Chains A and B, each alone.
Chain A
Amino acid sequence: MRPGKLAGRVYAGLVYAALYFPLLIVIAFSFNDAKRNLIWKGFTVKWYGTLFADAELVAALWTSLKVAATASLIATLMGLLASYVLVHHPRLRAKRAYDSALSVPLMVPEIILGVGLLSLYTRVCFDLSFWGLVCAHVVYCLPFVVWVVKARISSLKGHSVEEAAMDLGATEWQAFHKITLPLAWPAILAGGMLAFTVSFEDFVTSFFVAGVGTTTLPIKIYSMMKFGITPEINAMSTILLVLTLLLVAAYYFLNTEKNQDQLPV
């Protein structure tokens, strides 16, 4: 091994360790049998028990799941249409405007959209609850869906699969729903997973937009953090982290090359 490569490995290892160390600490201390997060006192899962006995927490988890499911579904449908058009319609007017509009949510500081939506919702008397949250989250989910799905649809177009189908007599609609959709399916699902994660984890926008009745899990953690550290927060954060990990792992496996290049040709 070249010395450069070895040094690089050591360096990368250190950076990744620093990146994950805080998260691992949270997880480790969620199993600590002590009321205060001081010293390791022994292994326990009792904090998870108290967590699920807390009706408010379970409600927050349920709200988070519902919001994320709705937002990611809407974002996936709209993102799929947008991706298809952006790839397949060559003479689309204002294509660059669409492209940049779809990346703006990734650039704007979240607090801006948070207070902006808060102003908008109060002005038009839009009820600050479930749907307010969903509408806001879709904005953040959309770029991720388009990012994943568009890549897949362009690679399919590169293989000219739709063209082949139409040469053999398929109509454009048939080519879309019999060729494009099934082949792009893993990527569509992967984009949806990513959107779900983005919505599920979102704090800043939700913090400004959520009404009194709609507390999501990150908001719940925030309000509990105001009262100091308790092992229950560790346990809840761990659940959140594990869910993210599972979703992102699912995304990764759905979106790997191996899964994508199974063209039936």
Chain B
Amino acid sequence: MSMLKKIDPALSWLIGGRRQTASQLLLLPASAWLACFMLAPIALLFVVSFAQRGDYGAISWTFTLKNYARSIDPRYFPVLMRSALYASTTTAVCLALGYPLAYFISFYVDKHKNLLLLLLMLPLWTSCTVEIYAWIIILGREGLINSLLTQIGLIDEPLRLLNRPFAVLIGLIHTYFPFMVLPLYSSLEKLPKAYIEASKDLGGGPWATLWRVTFPLTLPGVFAGCMLTFIPCMGDFLMAEFLGGPSTYLVGNLIQNQFLTAQDWPFGSSLSVLLIAVMMAGLYLQQTLEKKHASW
């Protein structure tokens, strides 16, 4: 204990925060970690995306834009478009299903709000392999739906439910749904309830209030939810790998393939950089939207 007393001034200097050096020093572990294991990998992908593929999958360091040109090659461009289509469909369905749920939790639930939110987040923390496995059991050729339908005599031949776009979309919607609802919920919570009452006092019916007051005011949340759904969806490769087939090959599968099978890391890197660019554009838009809203 006396040891602690001796170094007390030093520790107090660190904790007290009167000196910039102390603050930066305390943040150093976290920031150094993120710099090494988050920023450095992304920066490396950026650099490698301009390099060339050498022999036997090695990287030859000559500057080229070929990797980016390849992404609009007719062989790969449809994959990018398909990913965008799947991600937008997932986002739209999640928004349509999620807004009413977020609205209900925010306006109609009093006591168990936190529990309901936690139950919503729990599937986020379950491993994605388990979730995919569940869908294989349910949709598979000898899965739950098919065996039920065969048993009650509705079908003779098992339906092909897996390995088609429908199955991939179901999986994506199920996985990314919570990402949509949480930001929607928090923007609905922030909404001053007086605005809604004012609208009703001024003769706005429930629908008019929802469409002309509540929804416009929660647009930042809507946008944040869409971003949080769309971006991870764009990078997903597991759903397409297990629930889809060749017709559902997505950009995530393409990236995985470049790194693990085709050994074309520069091309894989350029695809990753494209995804990061989409993310940055989205974040920028979100910030602009939030600023605009704040000035209302």
Contacts and interface: CB of A to CB of B under 8 A. Distances in A.
Q: How many residues of B sit at the interface, in one of the four size bands?
A: 35 or more
A78 interface: yes
Contacts of B81: none
Contact of A111 (B44, B114, B130, B255): B255
Interface in A97-140: 98, 101-102, 104-105, 107-113, 115-120, 123, 135-136, 138-139
A38 interface: yes
A201 B38 contact: no
Nearest to B38: A139
A15 interface: yes
A172 B14 CA distance: 9
A88 interface: yes
Contacts of A115: 45, 255-256, 259, 268-269, 272
Interface string B11-41: 1111111001011101101110110111011
Main SS class of interface, A: helix
Contacts of A29: 137
Nearest to B28: A81
B112 to A, nearest CB: 11
B44 A119 contact: yes
Interface string B73-85: 0000000000000
A22 interface: yes
Contacts of A48: none
A202 to B, nearest CB: 8
B133 A117 contact: no
Interface string B232-259: 1011111000100000000010011001
Contacts of B31: 98, 101
Contacts of B295: none
A11 B86 CA distance: 25
Contact of B147 (A39, A89, A91, A171): A39
B144 interface: yes
B15 A117 contact: no
Nearest to B287: A100
B12 A173 contact: yes
A37 B17 contact: no
Given A38-B142, A225-B136, A229-B133, A109 B118 contact: no
B100 interface: yes
A148 B128 CA distance: 23
A244 B42 contact: no
A9 to B, nearest CB: 8
A177 B215 CA distance: 46
B101 A118 contact: no
Contact of A201 (B37, B40, B126): B126
Interface in A181-221: 194, 197-198, 201-204, 208, 217-218, 221
B213 interface: no
B23 A109 contact: no
A237 B26 contact: no
Interface in B126-178: 126-138, 140, 142-144, 147, 151, 174, 177-178
A229 B44 contact: no
A229 B139 CA distance: 12
A7 to B, nearest CB: 9
A52 interface: no
B127 A240 contact: yes
B125 interface: yes
B142 A107 contact: no
Contacts of B142: 36-38
A226 to B, nearest CB: 9
A135 B227 CA distance: 27
A88 B26 CA distance: 12
Given A19-B120, A81-B26, A201 B34 contact: no
Contacts of B127: 201-203, 217-218, 221, 237, 240
A229 to B, nearest CB: 6
A117 B45 CA distance: 9
Given A22-B134, A86-B27, A110-B232, 10 more contacts: A16-B119, A23-B123, A115-B268, A135-B37, A142-B33, A172-B11, A172-B16, A221-B127, A244-B122, A244-B125
Interface of A: 4-5, 8-9, 11-12, 15-16, 18-20, 22-23, 25-26, 29, 36-39, 77-79, 81-82, 84-86, 88-93, 98, 101-102, 104-105, 107-113, 115-120, 123, 135-136, 138-139, 142, 171-176, 194, 197-198, 201-204, 208, 217-218, 221-222, 225, 229, 233-234, 237, 240-241, 244-245, 248, 252, 256
23 contacts: A8-B104, A16-B119, A18-B174, A25-B137, A37-B143, A79-B30, A84-B26, A90-B17, A105-B34, A109-B231, A109-B235, A118-B259, A120-B44, A135-B36, A142-B34, A171-B8, A172-B11, A201-B126, A222-B129, A240-B130, A248-B118, A252-B114, A256-B114
